[in-house]
Amino acid sequence: MELWQEMLRQSVDSAKDLVERFGFDTETAEKLNKLFHIRINPYYLSLIRYPNDPIWRQCIPDAIELQDEKAPEDPLNEEADSPVPSITHRYPDRVLFLITSQCSMYCRFCTRKRKVSDSTKINAKFIQRGLEYIAAHPEIRDVIISGGDPLMVTDYALEKVLAGLREIPHVEIIRLGTKMPCVLPQRITTKLCRMLKKYHPLYVNTHFNHPWECTPEAERACNMLADVGIPVGNQAVLMKGVNDSADVMLELHRKLLKMRVRPYYIYQADLTKGTNHFRTPVRVGLEIMDKLRGHTSGLAIPYYVIDAPGGGGKIPLLPQYVLGRNGKDILLRNYKYEIYTYPDVEDATVEQHPVERKYMRKHQNGRRKSVSVPNSAEGTEEKVLVEQAPVGQVVK
């Protein structure tokens, strides 16, 4: 048995453990464990510094979870895009491929609680059907292996899946979605990395949410993956009381870059049953992004996205940098809130493509707004009227 497997056996994983180690009353502990199973491995447990700190909030259940009855269990409507039980096919050229329901630590904010920790939801038969589905759809060029956590399976079992995918000619890219470098970095072994190296191009997306998770053990794990040519990206979730400040996010992303991990996404927390106490206003995410841009390297700035409820997919959100137009000029503001003009290029000879016409914003009911624009020649400011199209409208 490998070290990571032995550590899993020592996890906090029952209502009884909550009662004995954290002082929960028995009834509440049993209800919480039934709502979403508990598993906290010893490594991640060791990162807690005090009760209700950012690490605690991610892994220790909270009675408030029991009060959240109205939110959906499948907020992203993955089941509707699931042609076979192990596959979510939402985007044209890529699929999500679930190969296990197990994780080394069950995050209390998990968006896939309906499947994670339930061993009946994913099995060998479903995995084989997933491979067959991918093979039968030549438009699929990118496969994201997830779960649960795909590194919860043995090296042998994982290699069977990777080898099966590499036998499919149209699969160009394979990605592993794993939280192991963060929550159980001991899982990243020399043997595992040697095996993964055989299946390039291979990418890893991992999941750090707070700077305290960027430990020497985590850095070693990420470096091992990078050393065998696997680019590592990070997908954080914005959560109240965990990382909902620009200072925390800035520290996290700077530390990740030092660990050779590229910040990729900040997710707005999903509307999942039992997790809504983590949600922040979208305004908070936009303010964080505004305070990152210009204050650190562009390498440290991820996309801020909402995974649209009902299966709309990831929608990126940005602070307002384009203020409007002044005639042919575009009005922009930088991270210091200084305003600049950029002379746009017009080409009336190019006919607009039908698809562009379909999705172009309507301007008929646009608003006009007065904006102060620096006049560099005279060192003064002047007011100009700027056309603003209603956001979100499309031509039918």
- Residues 6 or more apart whose Cβ sits within 8 Å of residue 273: 68, 69, 70, 71, 72, 73, 113
State the catalytic residue, choosing from 53, 91, 129, 155: 91
State the catalytic residue, choosing from 39, 57, 94, 273: 94
Please indicate whether residue 307 is annotated as part of the active site. yes
Question: Torsion-angle region of residue 77: left (phi > 0), alpha (psi -120 to 50) or beta?
Answer: left
Residue 104 carries which DSSP code?
Answer: S
State the catalytic residue, choosing from 13, 43, 57, 103: 103
Strand partners, 95: 143
Q: Which helix (H) or strand (E) holds 180?
A: helix 180-183
Measured on CA atoms in the order 153, 162, 187, 215, is the torsion positive or negative?
A: negative
Please indicate whether residue 68 is annotated as part of the active site. no
User: Which tokens belong to 386?
Assistant: 């700027």
State the catalytic residue, choosing from 110, 182, 214, 222: 110
User: Which tokens belong to 377?
Assistant: 């020649």
State the catalytic residue, choosing from 31, 220, 314, 333: 314
Please indicate whether residue 91 is annotated as part of the active site. yes
Reduced to 3 states (helix: H, G, I; strand: E, B; else coil), residue 346 is coil
Please indicate whether residue 93 is annotated as part of the active site. no
Please indicate whether residue 187 is annotated as part of the active site. no
State the catalytic residue, choosing from 44, 74, 106, 107: 107
Dist. CA 90–CA 64, nearest whole Å: 32
Please indicate whether residue 149 is annotated as part of the active site. no
Dist. CA 5–CA 286, nearest whole Å: 40
Please indicate whether residue 94 is annotated as part of the active site. yes
Dist. CA 140–CA 18, nearest whole Å: 44
Please indicate whether residue 344 is annotated as part of the active site. no
Reduced to 3 states (helix: H, G, I; strand: E, B; else coil), residue 381 is strand
First to last CA, the chain: 60
Strands 367-375 and 173-177: unpaired
State the catalytic residue, choosing from 13, 74, 149, 270: 270
Active-site residue set: 90-91, 94, 103, 107, 110, 112, 270, 307, 314
